[in-house]
Amino acid sequence: MALTKDQILGAVDFKYEEVDVPEWGGSVRLRGLSASERDEFEASIGVTQDLTNMRSRLVVNCLTDEEGNRLFKNSEAKQLGDKNANVVNRLFDMCRHLSGMSDDDLGIAEGN
């Protein structure tokens, strides 16, 4: 039987992942992006090819509390970008996985 509009819109379909971050003394909770959030993020890097703080810009979109509320505002990406690159990159990779993003989606090519 085909789903109704209400069933589709009412489905809880976000993936969450708890990631241990021993460097920070605990774990964090990540959520995959919504389709609209992903489009907005990709547009922010695609139009200008601005990769500045790309990893932290994605991670701030995905870090949530236990209720699924974002921990950071977009404007705080620079602060997160000042943290350990290994940690941010590990979280970035998990955010990409949860959001179904590939290198090609982000315009990341070998040699860049």
SS3 49: coil
- Amino acid in position 109: A
Per-residue pLDDT of the chain (112 residues; tens, 9 = 90+): 999 999 999 998 888 999 999 999 999 999 999 999 998 888 888 766 667 889 999 999 999 999 999 999 999 999 999 999 999 999 999 999 999 987 666 655 444 4
**pLDDT score at 53:** 86
**pLDDT score at 47:** 60
Helix (H) or strand (E) holding 89: helix 85-99
Is residue 30 within 8 A of residue 95, CB to CB? The reply is yes
